[in-house]
Amino acid sequence: MSERAAFYFDLGSPYAYLAAERISGLFTEAELEQPEWRPILLGGLFKELGRSSWGTGPEREAGMAEVERRAAGYGLPPLVWPDPWPGDTLTAMRAATFAKQTGRTVSFALAGFRQAFAAGRDLGDPDSVAIAGAACELHPRALLKAVATNGVKEELRRATAEAAALGVRGVPAVVAGGEVFWGDDRLEEAVAAAG
């Protein structure tokens, strides 16, 4: 029996949004166990690896156009970019960590991604995070209180460091069959490795 695949994501990544909208369907079609969704802080990963986002560099416009092209190709709604993008996802990723602790990782993550890239809302705004929480029955006050706890903060740090130690260099990433598949365009390969 192979180890369950893991899907690493940050709600601020448009490529992770594209992968999040497709991954469950791909694993279902392959008749495989769903991957475990693991929230990590992409900014923390970048800091550890000495990298930065393409969204802040010269490839920003081309990258945004590519994300929009892929979204259309996948049949997703037209992308609405949040302002600012890239933004501060720390609160959102702490909320995703809390959602994972309560068994609501997938529903919260999808709601958060859709807030950001289908509705164009800034996930740096606690109200946008609370709306995503409400979509998966996490009470806004409880959610916003939880993101301030040391347990949630430490868990997000630990998960991010663990991802880096496994060889995750960015999101989306799927670890399957002992290999890291980084990028929305590698999901099918990850599914094959998980089989």
103-132 per-position pLDDT tens digit: 999 999 999 999 999 999 999 999 999 999
With 0-12 / 13-18 / 19 or more C-beta atoms within 10 angstroms meaning exposed / middle / buried, residue 14 is buried
Q: Whole-prediction pTM value?
A: 0.96
Q: What is the pLDDT of residues 68-99, one digit of tens each?
A: 999 999 999 999 999 999 999 999 999 999 99
Q: For the residues 27-36, what does the mean pLDDT come to?
A: 96
Q: Return the CATH fold of 6-194.
A: Glutaredoxin (3.40.30)
174: confidence class by pLDDT, cuts 50, 70, 90: very high
Separation between Cα atoms, residue 13 and residue 176, nearest integer Å: 21
Q: Where are the domains of the chain?
A: 6-194
Separation between Cα atoms, residue 24 and residue 43, nearest integer Å: 25
Q: Which two tokens stand for residue 66?
A: 């590519």
Separation between Cα atoms, residue 95 and residue 2, nearest integer Å: 30
